[in-house]
Amino acid sequence: MKVLIADSMSPRAAEIFRERGLTVDERPGLAPKELAQIVGSYDGMAVRSSTKITAEVLEAASNLKVVGRAGIGVDNIDVPAATARGIVVMNTPFGNSITTAEHAIAMMLALARQIPEADASTRAGKWEKNRFMGVEVANKTLGLIGCGNIGSVVANRAQGLKMRVLAYDPFLSVDRAKEIGVERVDLDDLLARADFISLHTPLTDQTRNILDAKALARTKKGVRIVNCARGGLIVEDALHDALKSGQVAGAALDVFAVEPAKDSPLFKLPNVVATPHLGASTTEAQENVAIQVAEQMADFLLLGAVTNALNMASVSAEDAPKLKPYMKLAEQLGGFAGQITDSGLKRVAIEFQGHVASLNTRPLAAVVLEGLLSPLMSSVNMVNAPVVARERGIEIIESTNEKAGDYTSLIRITVTAEGRTRTVAGTLFANQKPRVVEIDGIAVEAELAPHMLFLTNEDKPGFIGRLGTALGNASVNIATFHLGRNKAGGDAISLIEVDDGVPESVLASLRGLPMVRQAKALRFPGMQRMPGARAA
């Protein structure tokens, strides 16, 4: 088998491929057209961030079985096109965690002691000793927005500097917070108390612009902010204004909304430290990701083992046709549960009843977890979802019972969060069509669509009329309407398919209606699963 290394990376990657008996060619710097001309003869391709794996390249990749990304981000790879062709896309999400965490700590210390500006002043021969009055980090409070793999490493290093650490992360459980020695808080509490804030969350619809003008106004005056995660988490114009006013004493930024960032107003401010996306740029990190991607790709090509795949679980070719409709159902149920759960997860119980219990349920459970965690984590997938859940101290319970109940097959998810337990269950109609049949113990039958509206309310006369009027006044068109209740005058639910997404302003008006307890807009884009699954 042949592997192409299409980007410059540690020589150790090529050595590992050859040690495992694979033929290796190293051709960095190829344009997509050049790559398309030669890719057809390779079984695997290893890249970093420079090589663009476009749909046209993949169309020419007649023998390609796996693309390995030495690093986390796969923006340079057309993953849907790879999936459609049955090509596995792998990354190495944990190879540069320590490096990125260390860079965040280095940026925080440079900011605290004004090191870059003091260095420039000293090199200019000014010797302005009295000008640069820094602050200690010892006994200060560090607030982490995001406390997953990298965030927990930052917490550990900060504790070594004698800092108190707060963490805001919807997926961080109380037990996990205690284990790593951080105080779990909500975002407003973190903003009000932190002397330093460091961001370690992916960029999702929920986290985009998480530090906007309103959030920055709620921070402790004189806070210092570090971002080595993703551009787009901070509204840069708002940060500029806060730095000018003194609300924010300083900012250390490794990432920007637009990169390369060559002309930012932030660069003109003396209280800003900036680096060109160096979070993963150490010899050790590049060595680690090169080794990991080579080992993962070799294991897949030679043994069929799948590690850190973004578009495939370990499913045999024999099981794939049987599991395909259940994978779709599992993804929908997990996504539903994840979107209606607002507080930190503690426990997830996944029950398989009837015919589905006789199948290989491990990939189904992984897809449930992927859907559950995806609303706040863009990088989660069916392979790493169980690992991500364990990192956050979420207890996972799986059970199977081949005895059928009311349905030939049923998957039920019970999510326990702080102060609340929620359930959602579904089945397949005609063995192919996923349907939700139960929400929080209330029977309802609904087929999910790209845009849904979910409400919980008291079952009292007049509610449906008020709801319909509110949606009509907001020009929200109803496609289907599903209702359920546990008893007359008790708890009720509404699950409504709408043509487009429901704006937050409309949701706010719905929450203000009498009897409404919760109103959430749900999205279920692209539900295709497992094209071209290969034997494990």
Q: Is 123 a catalytic residue?
A: no
Identified catalytic residue from 19, 136, 259, 284: 259
By residue count, the chain amounts to 536
Q: Are 147 and 170 in contact (CB under 8 A)?
A: no
Q: Is 230 a catalytic residue?
A: yes
Other Cβ atoms closer than 10 A to 493: 22
Q: For 392, which DSSP code?
A: T
Q: Which two tokens stand for residue 207?
A: 């986290």
Query: Checking DSSP bridges between strand 2-5 and strand 44-47, what pairing results, if any?
Result: parallel
Residue 519's nearest CA partner among 456, 446, 460 is 456
Identified catalytic residue from 240, 277, 412, 529: 277
HSE (side-chain half, CA atoms, 13 Å) at 5: 22
Q: For 125, which DSSP code?
A: T
> What is each CA distance from 79 to 114, 384, 469, in whole angstroms?
42, 16, 42
Other Cβ atoms closer than 10 A to 84: 15
Residue 519's nearest CA partner among 479, 500, 492 is 492
Residue 373's nearest CA partner among 227, 202, 518 is 202
Q: Which two tokens stand for residue 86?
A: 């049955």
Q: Which two tokens stand for residue 323?
A: 């599991």
> What is each CA distance from 66 to 44, 101, 526, in whole angstroms?
5, 29, 22
Q: Are 381 and 338 in contact (CB under 8 A)?
A: no
Burial class (CB in 10 A: 0-12, 13-18, 19+), 430: exposed
Residue 448's nearest CA partner among 348, 343, 526 is 526
Residue 151's nearest CA partner among 134, 140, 165 is 165
Identified catalytic residue from 230, 240, 392, 422: 230
H or E stretch covering 36 = helix 32-38
Residue 73's nearest CA partner among 257, 372, 289, 366 is 289
Strand, coil or helix: 274:
strand
Q: Is 355 a catalytic residue?
A: no
- Which residues carry out catalysis? 230, 259, 277
